[in-house]
Structure 1
Amino acid sequence: MSSRIFAAAALLLTFSPMWAQAQVSPVQIGSDIPKEWHEPANDQDFVKREVMIPMRDGVKLHTVIVLSRGSARAPILLERTPYDAGSFLSGNSPRLRDRLLPGDRIWADNGYIMVAQDMRGKYGSEGTYVMTRPPIGPLNPTKTDDTTDAYDTIDWLVKHVPESNGRVGMIGSSYDGWAVVMALLNPHPALMVAVPESPMIDGWMGDDWFQHGAFRQKMFDYFAEQTSAKREGSAVSRTGRDDYQEMLDAGSAGAYAAAHGIDRLPWWQRLSAHPAYDALWQGQALDKIIAAHPSPVPTMWLQGLWDQEDIYGAVRSWEALKAKGMTANNHLAMGPWYHSQINGRGDVLGPLKWSGDTAAYFRREVLVPFFDTYLRDKKPTQPTPHVIIYNPAEDKWDRFADWPGAGPNALTPMYLRSGGGLAHTRPASGRESYVSDPAKPVPFEQLPVRMGDHASWSTWLVQDQRFVSTRPDVLSYQTPILEKAVRVQGAPFADIFLSTTGSDTDVVVKIIDVYPATNADAPELAGYQLPVSLAIFRGRYRRSFEHPTAIPSGVVQEYKFRLPTVNYTFKPGHRMMVQVQSSLFPLYDRNPQTYVPNIFFAKPDDYRPATITIEHGMSGASAVLLPIVASSTAAEP
């Protein structure tokens, strides 16, 4: 052992001079992270700029400008968003197309300057965030709103982007579509064209928050994600894998909000304090506001026929402007899409398969030519259609010179008949009853329900309704097998006469296409019950949306309400069906069926079963009112 130690010591002495020479004199070491560094962009085919654009009150908004290298006299495409302006570019490819989502690539291909901007108070922008900030006025006493912010942004862009031709178009879907409409309330002179896609127009009547007063509990996740942090917050936590059971166990929507901390968010506090269609909601109804202040900007109102979030606003805004005689510069477009599917692939929707990519076709053949017309003075191959709506049953685009109004007077009644019949002839008598039990609400999709699952959430409006058709609390009415086609073009109405043993109720009506029992080409669609149009209506608002009233027990009342717009053909060999029920849970909060001042905060004892009786005869002939046309009014393509 001693000899090995001695040898090691001798070896150390032998090499110690070399170690001494390798020692470095002490120096001051700085940070390895420089103040500024950018990878050389010589091989990039695009230029990206990030700027802070000042608004009239001094607040600066974070804005991302992207253009192809070498651009000159190019039009600007502006999108204002609360969802992170920087996120429309992803990855690190030096090629712009590789960095863009499918729906944006066509703009790069056509040489557009693409601009995205964070709204006030979100992500990189200064200021405070207010959910769908109301226009300046009684609900917004400040001197700024998203109308002024859009105006100031466009003014800056046309002065500070030298590669532009000084013309701007706006586009955006959902909340971003709302921002487009806000810009139209006082458009900058350089704003030449606009396309609000599935815009949030009236959150109480049918977009996002409610439908006819019934609250969309799906939005709890959105409230947490959007308002709990300046950047993206987290969705509501789940203890289980079934939203149906979890929300049922929680009780009321207010109880669920309290259990998950949503009750501490100012937006929920404001929303839940206004369950009726009062001044808060009326003052933000953009279809009415835009009709009162019509814009000269050529505008295309666009939405999906099965939009599960914003199926109300685009068509209602177009109709409001039509009523004001503003059809010359306003167009209506509806595709066979779920919410915002126009920006992705559009060849399938759930089990439905189209002959091609309908979204890509629309972007290429309609959308870009529409923008080019006003931003480049480039005449399209064919004129922009005044109205273009897909016919899903015939798998084709229909172009219309006009589109029927929404009034129920020109509609054809299809009467609900005892025994499950559906026919044009009015029955002389009859009624049918079911028990609606809040402890066992009808699900809006097959269990388990996972509203955070995009695949099921985006396609629930086309799910096969056979999963509820045999429930005792769902009444189904259908025609005999059709011998000839039935075409419907416009907005159907439900006209239901019913009584309840409770003092409040919800009414859900679905119009369904029942496929033949056999289908050799698509066996998965054999006997399929495809919802064509459906809606929910909160009974307390049957007389007034602003002033709810209790329903008198046992007294027949009329519930007439509009269903989503359709352009559809019920083919020979199919059947037409109508389903009626009293809940659509957990998407919509449960009606306790006992009248309480605010359903958001109903107590457990308020939830009681009630017997619902649908009238077919002298006390009221329940029906759906359909916009049936003898032959299609579509123009030849």
Structure 2
Amino acid sequence: MMIHRLGTMLLLIGIGALPAQSQVAPLAPSDITNIPPDPALKNWSVRTVQIPMRDGVKLNTIVILPRGIKNAPIIFARTPYGAEKALTGAPSNDFRLALPTSYADLAAAGYIVVVQDVRGRYGSEGDYIINRPLVGPLNDTKVDHSTDAYDSIDWMVKNIAETNGKVGTIGVSYGGLTTLYSIVNPHPALRAAVPINPLVDGWMGDDWFHNGAYRQSFLDWVYRMSADKSSKYALQFDRQDVYESWLKAGSVSDMAKQLGVDTMPMFRKLVDHPAYDEFWQLQALDKRLGKEPLKVPTLHVHSLWDQEDIYGAPAAYAAMEPKDRGNDENYMIIGPWRHGQGMVADGSKLGAITFNGNSASWYRQKVLIPFFDRNLKGSADPGIAPVTAFETGANEWRRYDRWPMSCASGCPSRSKPIYLSSGGGLGWTSPTGAGGFSEYVSDPARPVTYRQRPILGTYNPLTTWGQWLVDDQRFAEARPDVVTFVSEVLTDEVRLAGQPIAKFFASTSGTDSDWVVKLIDVYPAEYAEAPEMGGYELAISMDILRGRYRESFSKPAPIPANQVLPYEIKLPNVSHRFLKGHRIMVQIQSSWFPLYDRNPQKFVPNIFTAQKSDYQKATQRIWTSARYPSRIELPVMP
């Protein structure tokens, strides 16, 4: 104790003896040094500019330049999703780490990358109109995506000193749409275009509708694009499983009112135009491109399992193909991908399906960059096939002269029907007897889901939205309101390259109905190559038709109750090989919820505003006989 007290006294004496000048100094005015990273360490630089349009509006534009680049072409992307997101890679002095995969590959190949916010979005001035139509009947201004692309390119070739004066446009989804707009009345400096999974016709088979059935899951997208200039807000559903949320709400309009979307301009346009009227027809970009001269070499990029815009790329390619006299300016590549997957790092798998290598990297290095090099750098013709298609099942790339007419060696594809039978069979022989029907009851109170529950919102952080098209379809086969037709085990391989067409006969006890048709590859029950895939039911093509549009997409009409009628659904394009030991399956159902809104199964003027009392059960029959030969016309290759 005495030692402790003595130590304490000495300590106090020592403290008291410190000289005044040794006291702790006061805090500095600021801890901010304002010293940015040394730019000399980076192998790339960024310029942000505001490019003026012909009406005075300035568009926010980011120019990305690899260090030392000169006399280089420009790759130009226009997006509503934020140009700044091109710079959200890992903080790095190396652009190959700092930029998204697609931009990094292009920069490494010697290109200046320019990304721009479309007018009214993020850093750009002006008004944003979703899917702004071209100047004309639906747009009484003097500006559209085509003029904005023209004005931007004109500014770039005059003001970016490092360029050789040649420009290529590129973009995914909405960016694919703006890419296609850039080739309508194109700037002379525009020498190549790559629309990737573009939105082309929002009613026929892209974002908004498929053959008249409304894709209500995109209500979330409408809200994000309408509620704020920079998409800061997302819909707040009342539960994790949105299947229950949609079912509880009632009609699409009921849900829109509940979530505060009902007054947004884009939603009002959807409600006011449920049929394929002039509002949609005049916006159909494939129809416009079919009337335009082919001035810009174009590479259309299509994904076989594009969960958002599976219609657009093949439709745009088909519209432009008659203008390609030398078969050397209108190209298409078909990959085994989801929406936009061809432009990201990993293309080796999708969901449970693997592809024997990184198909996305192969496409960028073997097709995309050589296509740009030929048209923007004057490089030697790389010998890209007019159509390059990945054949799933076999997991091989194929070269074709065109799509879907013939392959490089001159072998024609042909339509070969595979017939449904009332016993649940599927075969190549046309039915000869009286046959019969397969029956199920469709109940809007218990609609068939488009995937296993729980079903998460499109923008839920845990969602696997991008892979739902490759989900195992056994969950649906097990339901009593889904009818299934399956072939015998295949003893020969079956190659498909083109568009399957479902031609079937059906009746309903209601006065309206939806029909969903799925073409499925059934794996062997025991699969030695990958045991976890035993019995897997892989959908290779599926789509929906709203029955009221069976005769006219623009003039809906009630369905005569209990009358057998023919229906036709052009299914999404396929490039697939059914292997020996597999089976071919077809599933048919009358709801696909909550991806698509429910059909009341009672004809009402506008399903958007259907009342709860309008929804009713219906008995559905798929007819199969010599008189009613329900079938799928398959694009079979030798």
TM-score range, shorter chain: over 0.9
Matching residue of 2:424: 420
8 Å CA contact 2:273, 2:279 repeated in 1: yes
Amino acid at match of 1:142: T
Q: 2:213 corresponds to which residue?
A: 214
Q: Which residue of 2 aligns with 1:518?
A: 526
**Code of the aligned partner of 2:536:** Y
TM-score, structure 2 length as denominator?
Answer: 0.92
1:270 corresponds to which letter in structure 2?
K
Deviation at 1:104, TM superposition (A): 2.1
1:403 is displaced (CA, Å) by 2.1
Look up the match of 2:450: 444
Question: Equivalences for 1:155-234 in 2 at 5 Å?
Answer: 155-234=154-233
* 2:4 match: none
Which amino acid counterpart does residue 328 of structure 1 have in structure 2? Answer: D
- Within the alignment, does 1:86 sit opposite 2:72 as a pair? no
Change (3 A) 1:545 1:22: closer
Cα distance in 2 between the residues matched to 1:591 and 1:23? 76
Residue 56 (1) aligns with residue 54 (2): yes
Pairwise CA distance, 1:404: 2.4
Which of 610, 617, 624 pairs up with 1:616? 624
CA shift, 1:589, in A, is 0.6
Q: Which amino acid aligns with 1:48?
A: V
User: Which residue is 2:40 aligned to?
Assistant: 42
Residues in 1 aligned to 2:216 and 2:272: alpha-carbon distance in whole angstroms: 16
| Residues in 2 aligned to 1:61 and 1:141: alpha-carbon distance in whole angstroms | 21
Q: Deviations over 1:9-41 (max 9, x none)?
A: xx9xx99x969x9999xxxx999989x985542
Q: Which amino acid aligns with 1:367?
A: L
- Deviations, residues 457-491 of structure 1 (Å, cap 9, x unaligned): 11111111111102111010011111111111110
CA deviations over 1:551-587 (Å, ceiling 9, x no partner): 1111111111200111111111111111110011000
Distance 2:32 2:472 in 1: 57
Q: Distance in 2 between matches of 1:592 and 1:93?
A: 55
8 Å CA contact 1:224, 1:233 repeated in 2: no
* Residue 432 of structure 1: aligned partner: 438
- After superposition, residues 126-137 of structure 1 pair within 5 angstroms as 126-137=125-136
User: 1:485-539: per-residue Cα shift (whole Å, max 9, x none)?
Assistant: 1111110101121111100000000001111111122011111111010000000
Q: 1 CA distance for matches of 2:187 and 2:321? A: 23
Tell me if structure 1 keeps the 8 A contact 2:456–2:463: no
1:221 CA displacement: 1.3
Whole-Å Cα distance in 1 between the matches of residues 83 and 293 of structure 2? 28
Q: Structure 1, residues 323-358: CA drift from partner, whole Å, max 9, x if none?
A: 445543100111000000011110001111111100
Distance 1:299 1:238 in 2: 41
* Correspondence list, 1:357-376, <5 A: 357-376=358-377
Deviation at 1:217, TM superposition (A): 1.5
Distance 1:317 1:589 in 2: 27
Which residue pairs with 1:388 in the alignment? 388
Counterpart residue type for residue 628 of structure 1: V
2:24, 2:300 → 1: CA distance? 74
Contact between 2:522 and 2:538, CA under 8 Å: does it hold in 1?
yes
**C-alpha contact 1:243 1:450 (8 A) present in aligned 2:** yes
Q: Which segment is superposed worse, 591-600 or 217-226?
A: 217-226
The reply to whether residue 108 of structure 1 matches residue 107 of structure 2 is yes
Distance of 1:23 and 1:73 partners within structure 2: 56
Equivalent runs, 1:4-83 vs 2, <5 Å:
39-83=37-81
Distance 1:31 1:391, change over 3 A: same
Aligned residues between the structures? 612
Q: What is residue 336 of structure 1 aligned with on the other side?
A: 336
Shift of 1:411: 1.9
Q: Is the 8 A contact 1:226 1:233 kept in 2?
A: no
Give CA deviations for 1:86-141 in whole Å, capped at 9, x if unaligned: 11112432221221112222112112101000000000000000001000000001
Q: CA deviation at 1:320?
A: 1.4
| Alignment partner, residue 598 of structure 1 | 606
Distance (Å, rounded) in 2 between the aligned partners of 1:395 and 1:431: 37
Aligned partners of 1:78 and 1:169 also within 8 Å:
yes
Structure 2: 5+ residue runs without aligned partners?
1-12, 407-412
CA contact (8 A) 1:227 1:233 kept: no
SS in 1 for 2:464: helix
Task: Quote the Cα distance in structure 2 between the aligned partners of 1:402 and 1:295.
Answer: 16
**Separation (CA, whole Å) in 1 of partners of 2:335 and 2:567:** 29
Who is 1:354 aligned against? 355
1:634 maps to what in 2?
A: none
Q: Kindly provide the amino acid, as one letter, of the partner of residue 476 in structure 2.
A: V
Residue range with higher mean Cα deviation, 542-551 or 264-273: 264-273
Per-residue CA deviation, residues 190-211 of structure 1 (Å, 9 max, x unaligned), is 0110100000000000111111
Q: Which amino acid aligns with 1:376?
A: K
Contact 1:319 1:405 in 2 (8 A): no
Change (3 A) 1:618 1:400: closer
